[in-house]
Amino acid sequence: MQKNIVILISGRGSNMEAIVAAAIPGARIAGVISNRPDAAGLNFAAERGIPTRVVDHKAYPDREAFDAALAAAIDALAPDLVVLAGFMRVLTDGFVSRYAGRLLNIHPSLLPSFPGLHTHRRALEAGVRVHGTTVHFVTPTLDCGPIVVQAVVPVLPGDDEATLAARVLVQEHRIYPQAVRWFVDGRLSFDAEERVRVRDELVGPAGWTVPPVEA
């Protein structure tokens, strides 16, 4: 039975594009929702026959009212999984709790390092030698949910925010579809400490997670 995926975006939605392009077996992109009417990703989705919806946060008096309207739009699509793909709104605790265990986000750092904004700038200022990206389940505490998968990139001499961000984005597009596929395949679970475990995770000789090779 297919699982319905609802993707939330605020702009281009390049991670949304990567998930759509992955054509994950057993997954159906039930809809793409944006809080911005001018989000470029809406055109990408519509051109591929994916239902789109705008829930403009500016039309609501407060965060709670917006989240209630957003939840109604999501629930109309009967989601099994809600995916944040560059969705630039802080969600209320009630909203997050409503989708507990089925709300994924991707963050452009190796959490728990550099939560919040301006991650690439802060990584460069800190002088770290590696940087990366993290897919995690969303919890009420910002950027602190259980980690599903991470990807590491080097910080190279001469890097600026743009070059580092571009290198990280390549890895975002690789691991986000992978995490969604693990969810769809029923391979994700939580241990007693609420850490994520991946059943039958493939690991290469160097110890890194390896996506499955498609036939």
Over residues 95-110, the pLDDT tens digits come to 999 999 999 999 999 9
Confidence band (pLDDT; 50, 70, 90) for 59? very high
Expressed in angstroms, the distance from the first to the final Cα of the chain is: 21
Q: What is the mean pLDDT of the chain?
A: 96
- Per the CB < 8 A criterion, the answer to whether 143 and 136 are in contact is yes
- Take residue 58 and report the two structure tokens written for it: 């500016």
Question: For this structure, is 136 an active site residue?
Answer: no
Q: What percent of the chain has pLDDT over 90?
A: 93
Report which of 100, 104, 52, 55 is spatially closest to residue 82, judged by C-alpha positions: 104
* Cα–Cα nearest to 36, from 17, 62, 71, 10: 10
pLDDT of residue 85: 98
What mean pLDDT is predicted for residues 10-24?
97
Structure tokens at 122: 């802060």
Q: Which domains does the chain have, with CATH numbers?
A: 3-198 (3.40.50.170)
Return the pLDDT at 215. 38
Question: How many helices, marked H, and strands, marked E, lie in the chain?
Answer: 6, 9
The verdict on whether omega for the bond into residue 112 sits within 30 degrees of 0, i.e. cis, is: yes
Rg (CA), the chain: 17
Please say whether the beta carbons of 4 and 68 come within 8 A. Answer: no
Mean pLDDT, rounded, for 55-70: 98
Report pLDDT digits (tens) over 130-161.
999 999 999 999 999 999 999 999 999 999 99
pTM: 0.96
Q: Check residue 148 and report its DSSP letter.
A: E
- Of 57, 107, 136, 173, which residue is the catalytic one? 107
214 has pLDDT over 80 = no
Q: What is the pLDDT of residues 162-174, one digit of tens each?
A: 999 999 999 999 9
Checking if the pLDDT of 212 tops 90, the result is no
Where does the pLDDT of residue 66 fall: very low under 50, low under 70, confident under 90, or very high at 90 and above? very high
So what's the pLDDT on residue 211?
A: 73
Residue 115 burial (CB count, 10 A):
15
Looking at the chain, how many residues does it have? 215
